Structure 1
Amino acid sequence: MVDRTVSGRRDGEERGWLRGSPPPPWVRVLPPALLVGVCSAEFASPRPLDIGFLLGAIPSLAVLSYGPFATGVFGFIVVLLLHVPPLELNRPGDTDLLTIIFVAVLSVFVSLVRSRRDAHLVTVRTVAEAAQLAVLPPLPKRVGPVRCAGLYRAAERETLVGGDFFDVRDGPYGVRALMGDVQGHGLSAVGTVVSLLGAFREAVLDQHDLEAVAGRLDRRLILDSEGTEHAELFATALLLEFSRGADAVRLVSCGHPYPLLLRGSEVVEIDLEPGAPLGLGFFDACPPKGRTVRLDLGDRLFLASDGVSESRDTSGAFYPLADRLSKFAEESPTALIDGVWDDLVRCCTIRDDVTMLVLTPVQDGDRG
C-alpha cells in the first residue's frame, strides 16, 4: 500500500533547511571545522597569516544549528584563542577583540530566541498535524473486500489537508468510497471537508441508495451556506459502492472527473451521466444517475482529482492521464501511483491539491 494520504508533501520530498527543516550535517560541522582550519593554518605557516578575522564568524555560524550553551562555548573558545601568543591571532589591525566578544554575546542571545521559537513551532505543528489527521486519517490497506492504495498531496505547503477529500467505509449496504474536491484549497477549505466527510460517514450507515448518499452531501453543503450572502460554496464528488462479492461497482458522479477502469494493460474511462456539483441547489433539478459496472477478476479502479487531469505542461497542454496511465497499468498499486506521480511532477506544474486512489476489489477467486 502507498500510505501517503496524510502528508502535505510526497515521501522523500523534504523542505529545504532554509525553509524550516533541520540544518544538514555539514552546517553543524562548519563552526568546529573553521576553528580547526584557522588554528592549523596559523601553526603550519612559517609567518603570521592575517586570517584571525575568520574566527568572528564562528559564533554566528553556530547559531544556525546549535543551542545557546554550545554557541556560548564556541564564543568562549574563540576569545580564548585570541589570547594564545603562538597563534598571533589578535595582532593590532588584524582582529578587533571587542567586536568578536560583542558578536559572540549577540549570537548566544539569537540562539536562545531561535531555540524557543523552534520549540513553539514543534508544539504548534504537532497539534496541527493531530487535528488534520483526525479530519483525514491514513487510508486503510483494506476495507472489506476492497484493497486500497492512495496518494494525497495538498497544494498549500506545510498542510496535510486541502480542498480534496476521500474516504472508504464499510457499512450495511457494502463498501462505499468517496472522492471529492471542495471549491478552493488550503486551510480555508478544511472546514467544508470536515462537514462533508462527517455527512458521508453517517450516510454510509443509514442510506440504502447511493444517490441518496449524494443527496445527503448536497443538503449538508446547502445548510452550511445558509445565512451567508454569496457563499458560492460547492464541491464535486464521486461516490462508489461495491457489491458484497466485489464483482460489481455502482458509481455516482456529481461533477467529478470520471474514474478509470484498469483491466490488464487496458485503461477504460467509465462514462457517467454526472449530476450538478454539490451545494449549488440544483440536485433535485439535475440529480446524478448512477451506473453499475461489472468487474472481472483482477480489475482495478483508478480515481484522481482534477489536480491531476488539469495540471498543465510548459506548453499549456493538460496532462493526458489515461494515455500515461496505460504505461503503469500492469504495475502493483504502489508502483502505479509512484509512476503517475513521478511522471506528473516531471512534465507539469502542479498548483492544486492532488489525490489518487487505486481500489482493487478482492473477489472469491482472488483471496491472496
Structure 2
Amino acid sequence: MAAWPATAVRPAGARWEAAMAQALRAPAWVRLLPVLLVVADLVMEWSIPSSVAAGFLLTVIPVVVAFSGGPALVACSTAVTVALQALLALRAGHLTEQHHLWTYLATALAGAMGAGLARQRRRQARDLARVRAVADTLQHTVLRPVPARAGGLRAAGLYHPAQADVGIGGDLYEVCETEYGTRILLGDVRGKGLDAVRTVADVIGAFRVAAYETAELGELAAKLDRQVHRAAEQRGDRELFVTAVLLEHRPGGTELGLVNRGHLAPLLLAPGSVGTVRCPEDLPLGLGHLAAGPVEPPVTVPLPPGRTLLLHTDGLTEARDRTGAFYPLAARLGTLPATDPDAVVSFLDRDVRRHAGFLTDDVAVLAFTTA
C-alpha cells in the first residue's frame, strides 16, 4: 500500500485478489533459480569425466520450487528431477549404483518436504492476504475516497502513509456534504504509529457526526477540540493534539469559510501564481482549553473560478532530497501551466517522490476549485 490517490478505491473482492497475488508472488530470482540449477548441473555434467554423474546438484530443486509454486508444481518438479538424475546416471553407466539410488531417494524426500512447505506457504499467504484485505478495507472506511465533486466544488486528493504496509498514518482528511454546505477537514496528529492511527479514527468519526449537526464552523472546530482533549485525558497523554484546517463552502458561492487550528496555511493557486492564504492560527485541536482569549471566528477566503485551493500536511514540505534540502512546494507549483485539482495532485504525487525518493513522513493533499 504505497501512495494511493484519495479518489481511488477498489471493490473488496479486487482488494482480496490483489493482496493474495502479492502475498504469493515470489521474487523473480527465486522463480528462476530451479532453471539455473539445471543449467549449472548440465554444464558440470558435460565438463567433467563421463564416469561421474553430477545429478546430485538437482536434489534441492523441489525445495526451491516450493518457494514459488504450489504442491502440484513441487510434485511435478520432483518427478522431472528424479528422471533427469536417472538419465545423467545412465549416461555415466551408474543408473542402479547405491549412491545414485540414495540420491533418487533424497530427491523424493526433498519433494515431500517441499510439497509440505509449499502447502504451508500458501496457507500463510492466504492468512496474510486476508489481513491485508481487511487492513485495506479499514483504510478505505476510515479514509474514504475524496469525491470528484463535492457540492459546488471539484476535488482531488492524495494520501501517502509513511508506513506503506500499515495503510493509514497520522494524517487525516474528510469531505462531507451537509445542509450547511460542503465541509472539509485536513489534519495531522502529533506522533506516529498505532496511537496516531487511533486518534485519526477518533477525529474523523467525530467530524462525520458533528459536521451534519453543527451549524457554525467555529463550533464544529470546538467540538473536535473537546473530542481530542477527552481522548488525551483518557490516555493520559497531555501532549496529544491535532493540527487541522476546516473549510466550509456553500453551493453557488465563490467563498469558503476557514478555521485554522495550528496547521499549515492553505495555498491559493493559479497558472504561474502561488499565494498563501493569510488567516489567524488558533491552538491545535486538543489544546483549545489553554487559550487565553476567545477562539478566532472563521475567516472568509475568496475562491473565484480558475483558482484552486490546496491543503497539505507537513510531510509534503518537509520531504528532503539526498542533500537534506526540503521540497520547494511553492516554487514547484509556480511552474504549473494548469492548476485544476487533478493536475495539481498528479503533479505533486510524481514530483515529491522524484525529489525525495523514499518519503519518511505521512503526506496528505487536498485540492479544490469551484465547479
Into which bin does the TM-score normalised by the smaller protein fall? 0.7 to 0.9
How far apart in 1 are the matches of 2:144 and 2:282?
28
Q: Identify the range of structure 1 (227-236 vs 237-246) with the bigger mean alpha-carbon deviation.
A: 227-236
Write the mapping of 1:98-247 to structure 2, written as runs, cut at 5 A.
98-247=105-254
User: TM-score, with normalisation over the residues of structure 1?
Assistant: 0.84
**Pair 1:354 & 2:363 matched:** yes
How far apart in 1 are the matches of 2:284 and 2:173?
16
Letter in 2 for 1:310: E
Gaps of 5+ in 2: 10-17
Change (3 A) 1:141 1:49: farther
Change (3 A) 1:21 1:158: farther
How far apart in 2 are the matches of 1:173 and 1:325?
32
1:319 to 321, 327, 351: 327
Q: How far apart are 1:122 and its partner, in Å? A: 1.3
**Residues 70 and 119 of structure 2 are in contact (CA less than 8 Å); yes or no, is this contact kept in structure 1?**
yes
SS of equivalent residue, structure 2 residue 235:
coil
Aligned to 1:71: 74
SS of equivalent residue, structure 2 residue 304:
coil
Change (3 A) 1:316 1:55: same
Gaps of 5+ in 1: 9-14, 363-368
Write the mapping of 1:245-324 to structure 2, written as runs, cut at 5 A.
245-282=252-289, 284-285=291-292, 287-324=295-332
How many residue pairs were aligned?
352
SS of equivalent residue, structure 2 residue 338:
coil
How far apart in 1 are the matches of 2:8 and 2:129?
16
Query: After superposition, what is the alpha-carbon deviation per residue over 1:157-177, rounded to whole angstroms, capped at 9, x for unaligned?
Result: 212211111011111111111
How far apart in 2 are the matches of 1:273 and 1:20?
48
Change (3 A) 1:68 1:7: farther
How far apart in 1 are the matches of 2:316 and 2:201?
22
Query: After superposition, what is the alpha-carbon deviation per residue over 1:216-249, rounded to whole angstroms, capped at 9, x for unaligned?
Result: 1001111122243344211000011113213111
Change (3 A) 1:201 1:89: farther
SS of equivalent residue, structure 2 residue 289:
coil
**Residues 129 and 160 of structure 1 are in contact (CA less than 8 Å); yes or no, is this contact kept in structure 2?**
yes
**Residues 183 and 246 of structure 2 are in contact (CA less than 8 Å); yes or no, is this contact kept in structure 1?**
yes
**Residues 7 and 153 of structure 1 are in contact (CA less than 8 Å); yes or no, is this contact kept in structure 2?**
no
Q: Identify the range of structure 1 (30-39 vs 49-58) with the bigger mean alpha-carbon deviation.
A: 30-39
Aligned to 1:82: 85
Q: Percent identity?
A: 35
How far apart in 2 are the matches of 1:97 and 1:262?
72
**Residues 151 and 177 of structure 2 are in contact (CA less than 8 Å); yes or no, is this contact kept in structure 1?**
yes
Query: After superposition, what is the alpha-carbon deviation per residue over 1:138-187, rounded to whole angstroms, capped at 9, x for unaligned?
Result: 11111111111111011112122111110111111111111001112343
Letter in 2 for 1:354: V
How far apart in 2 are the matches of 1:333 and 1:54?
59
SS of equivalent residue, structure 2 residue 111:
helix
Change (3 A) 1:21 1:296: farther
How far apart in 2 are the matches of 1:340 and 1:89?
68
How far apart in 2 are the matches of 1:142 and 1:96?
68
How far apart in 2 are the matches of 1:6 and 1:57?
48
Q: How far apart are 1:74 and its partner, in Å? A: 0.9
Letter in 2 for 1:340: L
How far apart in 1 are the matches of 2:313 and 2:222?
21
Letter in 1 for 2:67: L
Aligned to 1:4: 5
How far apart in 1 are the matches of 2:146 and 2:291?
32
**Residues 320 and 326 of structure 2 are in contact (CA less than 8 Å); yes or no, is this contact kept in structure 1?**
yes
Aligned to 1:365: none
**Residues 149 and 357 of structure 1 are in contact (CA less than 8 Å); yes or no, is this contact kept in structure 2?**
yes
Letter in 2 for 1:241: E
Aligned to 1:52: 55
**Residues 45 and 53 of structure 2 are in contact (CA less than 8 Å); yes or no, is this contact kept in structure 1?**
no
Q: Identify the range of structure 1 (99-108 vs 317-326) with the bigger mean alpha-carbon deviation.
A: 99-108
How far apart in 2 are the matches of 1:334 and 1:48?
70
Q: Identify the range of structure 1 (342-351 vs 200-209) with the bigger mean alpha-carbon deviation.
A: 342-351
Q: Which has the higher helix share?
A: 2
Q: Identify the range of structure 1 (31-40 vs 214-223) with the bigger mean alpha-carbon deviation.
A: 31-40
**Residues 153 and 354 of structure 1 are in contact (CA less than 8 Å); yes or no, is this contact kept in structure 2?**
yes
Q: Identify the range of structure 1 (170-179 vs 180-189) with the bigger mean alpha-carbon deviation.
A: 180-189
Q: How far apart are 1:208 and its partner, in Å? A: 1.8
Letter in 1 for 2:198: G
